[in-house]
Amino acid sequence: YVYRNDRTAWWVDARSAAGFKAGTVARARNIPLAEVLAAKDDGRLPMEDHNTRLIVFGKDGDQARAVAASIASNAFANVTFFDGKADDVIELLLVPKRERPSR
């Protein structure tokens, strides 16, 4: 729902630059853990509105959780994370439900 209907939400890909370049979701910003502070200065985080919805995903839930916690500790109030793999997020968001194989 959020991906298709909330155009104000920001998607954060917490993987390495190489993982990000290998494929991500449209509109995602690449912010690995070591770059959270830099992202505040270079436009990868929404400095105008710290209540903007931020959804973090990464190579796994632990990576996403760590980046989400770091972003939240920098005064961003509406941060959540996907507790799974980036590949799962990409598949869920890019493949329409009716075309997904059943598991």
Domain assignments of the chain as residue spans, ordered by start: 2-98
- Tens of pLDDT along 22-81? 999 988 999 999 999 999 999 999 999 999 999 999 999 999 999 999 999 999 999 999
Predicted TM-score (pTM) of the model is 0.86
Query: How far are the Cα atoms of 41, 74, 88 from residue 3, in angstroms, in the given order?
Result: 25, 24, 14
* Alpha-carbon gap, residue 28 to 35, rounded angstroms: 15
CATH 3.40.250.10 fits 2-98, yes or no: yes
* Residue 94, pLDDT score: 76
* Residue 99, pLDDT score: 44
C-alpha closest to that of 76 among 56, 57, 52:
52
